[in-house]
A and B are shown apart, each in its own frame.
Chain A
Amino acid sequence: MEQQPELSADVPRAWDRPVVTVPTLTFLSLIGGQFPSFSTQANVYAIGTGGALVWLGLANRVPRRPVPHRLRSGAGWWLVPVLVFGVFEASTFMLGSRDDFPTFSKIADPLLDDPLVRSVAYFGWLSAFWGLVRR
């Protein structure tokens, strides 16, 4: 019986190395950081880059890292930061995200107005997305 070809992360492809991916993600982030919020370019770029990564991640075209079959027993610790964040996000959202009690995105918006900060944040978003695709 013929085996389904399984992509493996054991032998990294030439393009699947930090020396290639980091400059590529940096380049994409520097472009993304130039588009202001609510612009057509920003919408097209965020949807386009994200869509490309979703396609890569669902099409099994990228080698993946090994997946744990079971989570270690301390996984519950992750609920602590998630719950603290969730309580503040939910309460600020339910109270209308006012200037005196803002949601996380309302706090982040003025910071993201700066193109350099925006590019750094874009790099974080794309890097994490790439990490998910490789999982």
Chain B
Amino acid sequence: MRYLAIAGFTVALLLFVAVEWAARREGSRIPTFGDVCAYVMRYEVGPVPVGRIALFGFWWWMGWHFFAR
């Protein structure tokens, strides 16, 4: 079971790399991961940059979770 989990996460990470690689090819219809993040960060409710706050908050928590907890 442990190897199944490790294999699953490895496949997921390789898929991230593969889709990013495909996105960076000339004429690709797939946006890069950076473009997807930028698009999400455009989301605002009134004057509040909800998308920006959500992504920053998520990434901040990720760092704290892996490096401090």
Contact = CB atoms under 8 A, between A and B. Distances in A.
B contact residues, range: 35 or more
B35 interface: yes
**Dominant SS at the B interface?**
helix
Contact of B9 (A32, A53, A104): A104
Nearest to A106: B5
Nearest to B67: A46
Interface in B16-69: 16, 18-19, 22-23, 28-31, 33-39, 41-42, 49, 52-53, 55-57, 59-60, 62-69
Contacts of B11: 84
Given A81-B15, A100-B2, A132-B55, A71 B39 contact: yes
**Dominant SS at the A interface?**
helix
Contact of A77 (B4, B12, B30, B68): B30
A contact residues, range: 35 or more
Nearest to B30: A74
Given A38-B68, A132-B56, A74 B5 contact: no
19 contacts: A43-B64, A45-B68, A47-B68, A51-B60, A58-B49, A65-B38, A72-B28, A74-B23, A74-B29, A74-B31, A75-B36, A77-B23, A78-B33, A81-B12, A85-B13, A88-B9, A102-B5, A125-B62, A129-B63
